[in-house]
Amino acid sequence: MDVFKIEQSIGGGVPAPDKITPEVSFDAGSEFNLSFFDTDSNTQGFSDPGSVASSTSASSPPPPQIKIAPLPSTSNPSQGIVVKQEQHYVAADSNSSSTTKSFVPCKVCGDKASGYHYGVTSCEGCKGFFRRSIQKQIEYRCLRDGKCLVIRLNRNRCQYCRFKKCLSVGMSRDSVRYGRVPKRSRERSTEESSRVTTTDADQSDSETKQLAVYDVILTVSQAHHANCGYTEEHTRNLVRKPVVVPPSSPADSEVASSTAEALEQERCWLWQQFAANITPSVQRVVEFAKRVPGFCDLGQDDQLILIKIGFFEIWLSHVARLTSNTVMMFDDGTTVTRQQLEIMYDADFISSVMHFANTFNSLALNDTEVGLFSAVVLLTADRSGITDVKSIEHHQDKLIEALKVQVGRNHANEPQLFSSLLIKLPELRNLGAKHSAHLDWFRMNWTKLTLPPLFAEIFDIPKSEDDLQ
């Protein structure tokens, strides 16, 4: 059985923050729109959303405290949340001489950051350098064993160490493609990515469904082989044992004053032989049903109805393998002639049974396909008295799909076979209804017969006076 392994990959080079603070807006360019700040122990920056780490000496003034406060009601509400500066930080700003603006350092070189680029807070210079290095796939070399100090004043001296520092602080190679890509190109890329994601999802969903179908096929196949006496393996070396009506005794001749009575006695005897040979299959079908996916999820009343009404149809689809125009053979080799079957039933009914067996056998189904067909027959939702119709229909649809897959795989050159098989369902159901009508004779003559209790139960034939009440 094919087994599929569904893998999911997690992309994206931007590390997820532990805590997202209210949005903070800076006037350092259109790209800068911070939701949080990242730092590490080796670089200067915010240690948390409410404080600034100092790079000055011990004699320098203490670091300022920054609080995030909502705008007063008179402010423009479109500005969102702003940073309220309580103290001024005097810093060497290569881009501005103002001493009143907040300073966020670049994680790579320490210069004033202009935004959150490729996964880290960085300046325009390091952002552009990293982008060019990735896009052009430049390979750098270091003359000092890769241990150069990278700061604002010397960041251009060793490109190897600068690029290494970009990677070490968290800049993502994968994020470069989302840098200065035109809006339309980004939209097209997003659409293409969405289509790819959708295709992958559809493929995964298809594989999951296919795996579920094969699980149904395997489960039903195992249940059928374990609980059917009419499989190819069980019937390969059967020895025929014809049913022979015992000769009548003188006492019987005196009782049977007419041919009709003699025929009635023969009918009763044949029915008793028939019942004894079919009864083992009752228990097997019950065990098979318990292993059909979805059957045990149903209520007990619905389970009982499905087995009682469906048993004969299921059994007939099994015994068809050993049925010809002249005889019917049970799974132990016992054979009943067509003439004997006509005594038990009638010529028209037996003719229909033989026709079904011949046409069903012509489909050349293997044991697994017969098992799946039997499961479909079992879970027929519109049986009289059924309450949970939708659940039964749902489970039968899964079985029909499994049967379709199995037949399609084994009979690829016969595309019409599956349709021909489905046509057998109403034909089989019609035979089941006719058989039920014939059982009325049992119900009227139950006192004349000695029937196995399981046979009487499956066909609702009285066993005692209590059953009549």
**Which amino acid is present at 458?**
I
For 414-433, write each residue's pLDDT tens digit: 989 999 999 999 999 999 99
Q: Tens of pLDDT along 246-289? A: 765 444 555 555 677 778 888 888 888 999 999 999 999 999 99
Tens of pLDDT along 171-202? 887 777 544 444 454 455 455 545 545 555 56
Write out the two tokens for 450. 């000695």
The residue assigned the tokens 């038990």 is 344
Q: Between 33 and 322, whose confidence is greater?
A: 322
Evaluate if residue 79 carries a pLDDT over 90: no
5-9, 313-317, 337-341: least confidently modelled range? 5-9
Element (H, E) at 85: strand 82-85
pLDDT at residue 34 in the model: 31
* Paired residues of 334 in beta bridges: 241
Is 212 or 282 the better-scoring residue by pLDDT?
Answer: 282
3-class SS string, 373-422: HHHHHHCCCCCCCCCCHHHHHHHHHHHHHHHHHHHHHHCCCCCCHHHHHH
User: Which of the 8 DSSP states describes residue 168?
Assistant: H
Mean pLDDT of 195-218: 72
DSSP string for residues in 93-152: -SS---SSS---B-TTT-SBP-EEETTEEE-HHHHHHHHHHHHTT-----SSTT-----T
| 92: pLDDT strictly greater than 60 | no
Res 367: pLDDT: 95
Between residues 436 and 34, which one has the greater pLDDT? Answer: 436
pLDDT at 292: 96
Asked whether the CA dihedral 246, 250, 252, 257 is positive or negative, the reply is positive
pLDDT at residue number 87: 39
- As a whole-number percent, the residues of the chain with pLDDT over 70 amount to 69
- Amino acid letter for position 59: S
Q: Which helix (H) or strand (E) holds 193?
A: helix 183-226
Tell me if residue 209 falls in helix, strand or coil. helix
- Average pLDDT for residues 376-393, to the nearest whole number? 95
Q: Which two tokens stand for residue 449?
A: 């017969």
Cα separation, 379 vs 303, whole angstroms = 9
More confident residue, 6 or 359: 359
The radius of gyration of the chain's CA atoms, rounded to the nearest angstrom, is: 42
Distance CA 375, CA 262 (A): 41
From the CB of residue 381, how many other CB atoms can be counted at a distance below 10 Å? 17
Residue 223 pLDDT more than 90?
yes
Q: Does pLDDT of 170 surpass 70?
A: yes
CA distance 394 to 397: 5
Q: What distance in Å separates the CA atoms of residue 23 and residue 107, rounded to the nearest whole number?
A: 20
- pLDDT above 90 for 456: no
Q: pLDDT grade, residue 465 (50/70/90)? A: low
Q: What is the pLDDT of residues 138-148, one digit of tens each?
A: 888 888 777 88
Between 264 and 72, name the one with better pLDDT.
264
Whole-Å CA distances, 77 to 81, 146, 191: 9, 49, 33
Q: What is the mean pLDDT of residues 205-214?
A: 80
Q: Any idea of the CA torsion for 12, 15, 19, 21, to the nearest 10 degrees? A: -70
- How big, in percent rounded to 5, are the helix, strand and coil portions of the chain? 50, 5, 40
Per-residue pLDDT of 52-62, as tens digits, reads 333 333 444 44
Arithmetic mean of pLDDT, 397-410:
94
> Domains in the chain, ordered, with CATH?
66-180 (3.30.50.10), 215-468 (1.10.565.10)
List residues bridging with 122 in a β-sheet. Answer: 115
